[in-house]
Structure 1
Amino acid sequence: MLVHEILRNHARARGGSTAVVVGEDTHTYGDLWRRVERTAGALAARGVGHGDRVAVLAKNSLEYVQLYFATAAIGAILVPLNFWHRGPEHAYTVGDAEPALWFVEAGYDEVAQEARDAHPDLPVLRIPGPEGDRADWDAFLDAAVEPPTVEVGDADLHMILYTSGTTGRPKGAMLSHRRTVDDALAMATVLRAHDRDVFMNYFPPFHVGNWDHMKPFLLVGGTVILLREFDPGVVLDLLPRHRVSVVLGVPTMLHALITHERFAATDTSSVRLLYYGAYDPSGIMDRTADALGAREGKVEFAHTYGLTEGGPFVTWCPPADVFARWGSIGRAMPGVDVALLDDAGAEVPPGEPGEICVRGPRMSGYWRNPEATAAALAGGWLHTGDVAVADADGFLTIVDRLKDMIRSGGQNVWSKEVEDCLAHHPDVADAAVIGLPDPVYEEQVVAVVVPVGDVPHGEAAEALAEDLTAFVRARLAGYNTPRQVHFLAEFPRTAVGKIQKHVLRERFGA
């Protein structure tokens, strides 16, 4: 099966069943597939064909869903862009992907301008947003031709998702039809997804949590409630109205829900399963379990682990085990081979730490980056950079990270990317970025800076800290912005000169 066939097959078999609800509009599988076919014909009319990239900078919408399936149907490749990125980041990503066509929502015209200036020959069309400007999109559809017959293979790419890199340059994870469909089947199996399920999707479209977590419910003929973005008040309104049965969350989102003033009055009885992937040093998932009555059996909880480069599902701790093994990411998913390997590539025994390495549904590699691909897929395994230990029953618990990454608000923040940004500030001689536990965001980004000249104190320190946070915010996506800035005369270092970040965490984490 190919990605677009998930939708096409249901259009034939259950065309009148509800596929997607967007706002007040309900779309059946038959209706959605007709829209996808027309979108595919419109792409073909613009000369988009097999292997061409189509970039989109927008929040969730029905039109975005149409593009997801339409590009797959004609063998093209969807490239969702991160709407939190700034102009330089878009200029790099667009230059790297070289799309044949770029759809931009009106609200992102300003942030997209630098990329448009750098690539003036790239055709850009408006995708509808809340501003209501449909002229470009309607003209695009009006020019549609009969969708071409295209030979699409399961190894062909259907999407490139860009992830932040330790070098400060995003890497494009290439995702094939085979990877996405195989993982959908595995996800549907462990989630026990069925055609009466209603799944609420509020994850951003540049995130693996969006497309890859809708797919198992569409695969089985269920219904997806698609929100433009996450808003706890809207979620609490729609959850009982649509009798949502399955919820995916990260701690930041779940904290916003359970602390909302209307949470206690909201009927959550329709929810049968809440599943999550969480590094949770501040106990948000404990509080969410208590708020929903999960330990009393009112709703099932399940802990997952994955990554864009993987299925994304890699492991699964099911409801029957999640509380007895609280914090464990579980065992390998069906169809996935997981091993904990040491630096020499040998498997470690139970109880010993090793890097989580994966075989199964995964990316084909990084777009136009053979060096990073070779490193990530060395020895035939996908190397995750996360370190775990396995107990005697094979349940895994993450204990460390090989990658210098911070998990904040459901987003990956690469320390080096922020450090490189700070290094360009004229008052910074050196910088180290660490993550510290945060009761809402899992971890918060903290910068420790060796300034040029003397270490500032008092109002001078506050002024420089504010200037540095504004400097980062203007150049990187907002979630990279340090929430604390500390100053030192020098860093603690190892004998070979490496900054001892664990010492910084101990000092400033207190």
Structure 2
Amino acid sequence: MQNVFGDHQLDIPFQSIADLLAKYAVRDPMKRAIVDLDQGKEIAFGKLKSVADDIAGHLNALGVGKGDKVLLLSDECVEKLLIWLGIWRLGAVVCPLNIELNSEHLIDLSRLADPKLVLHHKDIDVSQLAADYRCIRFAGWTDGGPADPEDAFFSALPSGTDPASLPERNEPADLACIFCTSGTTSRPKMVVYDHAAYWLSGLSTLDMLGLTEDDRTLEYRSFGWNSAQILSFMPFLEVGCTLHIAKRFSHSRFFEWIQKYGITFSAGVPTVVNMLLNKPLGYTGDDIPTLRLMTCSTAPLSPEQWTKFETMYGIKLLQLYGMSEAGWICGNRHYKWKRGTVGLPAKHQEFAIVDEAGNVCPPGVEGEVTIGGPQTALGTLRDDGSLEPVRGLRTKTGDLAVRDDEGFITVTGRTKDLIIRGGMNISPVEIDNVLMSSDLVFEGAAVGVPDPIYGEEVVCVVVPKRPDVTPEQILEFCKSRLPHAKVPKRVYMAESLPKSDRGKVLRDKLRESLPSLQAMA
């Protein structure tokens, strides 16, 4: 086991799913384990252990064994996580593809995973897979109630499976999951993780957030994404806190959830933070006293947004930074943070900022972020199903960053997004942050466009907060905050910015959309 984790010291020793669930069933049998906010369903730790055993036994009877892959197609619901735990309980591999992918990519990636079994929610059409794979439909799990007539999985579960009949355990070096990166127009990559990487990522999360068994967490993003897996699911498993899930973020219900269930920690993304800032519902910190912490990841958050949010709601906000192939790369800590940065390198990430020659950059010098070590993915799947390795290599992320004298990291942009104006490298993120600090702008982003004199010139696209906002006002604001070379030379107005399904602004698409927008200045 020590070889799998390298020289990383584990604050919580690795335990299998079987052992974790058995421990929590004894420690907290009546405590809520998972709460499905949309369906109004919940399961306690005592029941969770027995259901996971029953699902594992059922899968085993269906021919699934340790190391076999199970494709899991579903929106976010308690049933999805119960099946997930049953798969891991058996030592099998879960493939939770994001159903929001376009159908062509979903089918293509499903075939690349080549599963032993396909389990799909009743609302998911798997007709294109049924000829090649055994597909079983599931609907609602019921705790002793009448079975859903559309269900063909939970209704067939055995009851009271003897754990001794399931000697399998998931070990650190076993394959755990194959999931896809966030896709846009091109086909996403399939990323392969073992249990060691998940365990280390979860420990990195616990170090950043300080979660304990007494926390009640909220996750409303897809568990097909690595971020939701390592921010919410792994800490739930490692400390036995209560996990609340929803299919998606709800602006109107968010604070109601917090009040009703006493949520102490919630996941966050820039879109959610901006929505809560720009469309407040009248709540203050006094109305949500249990919520002590939120995170923001997937895209940089400006210091002004960060400060505004904490002032408005009285909630500590922590910016984190990760990627599918690496898990957490950096993160602000509940005990040590700095606004405008993505925090310190994650506890179990072998992090380095390097120059073009591969040399580590000193503090204050910009370079490219590289990652490595046992917290990273094993690799990604090639088209022939073989593994393109990540683990064991020093992998470039494509992100530019700088470290300050205290060790805090500021992500300055993407190498491919750099605007090179007259030989000057300009990070669009710097301009984005200025735009987002304005009370005139709901959203804004900068891109480079061809220029006959400077090679590239800076322009920006903004979603104004009010219809009476003028481009001249935006330009004047930028001129007061930016040097001349970085001030956008044209302002385009738009109703929205193109984004990935994880909320990242797609600058390539933004640039492509410029001819259809009216340049306002």
Same fold (TM over 0.5): yes
Structure 1 CA distance for aligned equivalents of residues 359 and 184 of structure 2: 25
Shift in Å, 1:97: 0.4
| Matching of residue 58 in structure 1 with residue 74 in structure 2 | yes
Q: CA deviation at 1:283?
A: 5.5
- 1:191-340 mapped onto 2 (5 Å cutoff): 191-214=209-232, 215-260=234-279, 262-264=281-283, 267-277=287-297, 278-280=299-301, 284-293=305-314, 299-310=315-326, 312-319=327-334, 321-322=336-337, 325-340=338-353
Rounded to whole Å, the distance in 2 between the matches of 1:385 and 1:68 is: 32
Q: Is the 8 A contact 1:284 1:440 kept in 2?
A: no
* Number of the residue aligned with 2:139: 128
Q: CA deviation at 1:165?
A: 6.7
Contact persistence 1:201–1:210 (CA under 8 A): yes
User: How has the CA–CA distance of structure 1 residues 282 and 328 changed in structure 2, closer, same or farther, with 3 Å as cutoff?
Assistant: closer
| 1:27 counterpart = 2:48 | no
Q: Is the 8 A contact 1:42 1:145 kept in 2?
A: no
User: Equivalences for 1:68-107 in 2 at 5 Å?
Assistant: 68-107=84-123
Paired residue for 1:425? none
Deviation for aligned residue 1:2: 4.2
Query: Which letter maps to 1:25?
Result: K
Output the CA distance in 2 between the equivalents of 1:384 and 1:268: 38
1:404 is displaced (CA, Å) by 6.0
Q: Secondary structure at the match of 1:55?
A: strand
Matches of 2:77 and 2:449 in 1, distance apart?
36
Structure 2 unpaired stretches of 5+ = 1-13, 142-146, 419-433, 451-497
Q: Does the Cα contact within 8 Å between 2:283 and 2:313 map onto a contact in 1?
A: no
TM-score of the superposition, structure 2-length normalised?
Answer: 0.72
Q: Is the 8 A contact 2:120 2:135 kept in 1?
A: yes
In 2, Cα distance between the equivalents of 1:478 and 1:13? 36
Q: 2:208, 2:332 within 8 Å by CA — same for their partners in 1? A: no
Within 5 A, what are the aligned runs for 1:368-387? Answer: 368=382, 376=390, 380-387=393-400
The amino acid of 1:401's aligned partner reads R
Question: How many percent of aligned residue pairs carry the same amino acid?
Answer: 23
Counterpart of 1:120 in 2: which secondary structure? Answer: coil
Change (3 A) 1:29 1:447: farther
- The number of aligned residues is 425
Asked if residue 401 in structure 1 is aligned to residue 414 in structure 2, the reply is yes
Inter-CA distance 87–198: structure 2 relative to 1 (3 Å threshold): same
Bigger share in helix = 1
Would you say 1:163 and 2:176 are equivalent positions? no
Give the conservation status (yes or no) of the 8 Å contact 2:33–2:45.
yes
Per the TM alignment, residue 106 of structure 1 is displaced from its structure 2 partner at its CA by 2.9
Tell me the SS of whatever aligns to 1:327.
coil
Q: Which runs of 5+ in 1 are unaligned?
A: 294-298, 406-435, 449-471, 489-503
Q: In structure 2, how many angstroms separate the alpha carbons of the residues matched to 1:389 and 1:509?
A: 34
One-letter identity of the residue aligned with 1:231: S
Contact 1:53 1:98 in 2 (8 A): yes
- 2:367 & 2:280 partners in 1: Cα distance? 43
Deviation at 1:11, TM superposition (A): 1.9
Alignment check: 8 A CA contact 1:274 1:300 kept: yes
Provide the secondary structure at the position in 1 that maps to 2:252: helix
The within-5 A match list for 1:444-483 is none
**Are the counterparts in 2 of residues 166 and 404 from structure 1 also a CA contact under 8 Å?**
no
> Is it true that 1:153 corresponds to 2:171 in the alignment?
yes
Give the structure, 1 or 2, with the largest relative contact order (CA under 8 Å, sep 6 or more). 1
The secondary structure found in structure 2 opposite 1:37 is: helix
TM-score, normalising length: structure 1: 0.73
The verdict on how the C-alpha distance between 1:98 and 1:440 changes in structure 2, with shifts beyond 3 A counting, is farther
Q: What is the DSSP-based 3-state SS (H/G/I as helix, E as strand, rest coil) of the residue aligned with 2:288?
A: coil
CA RMSD of aligned residues (A): 3.8
Aligned residue in 1 for 2:426: none
Task: Answer whether contact 1:71 1:158 (CA < 8 A) is retained.
Answer: no
> Is the Cα–Cα contact under 8 Å of residues 3 and 177 in structure 1 kept in the other structure?
no
Q: Deviations over 1:409-443 (max 9, x none)?
A: xxxxxxxxxxxxxxxxxxxxxxxxxxx97866775
Task: Report the CA distance between 1:92 and its aligned residue.
Answer: 0.9
> Quick check: 1:19–1:28 contact (8 Å CA) kept in 2?
yes
Shift of residue 29, structure 1, vs aligned partner: 1.1
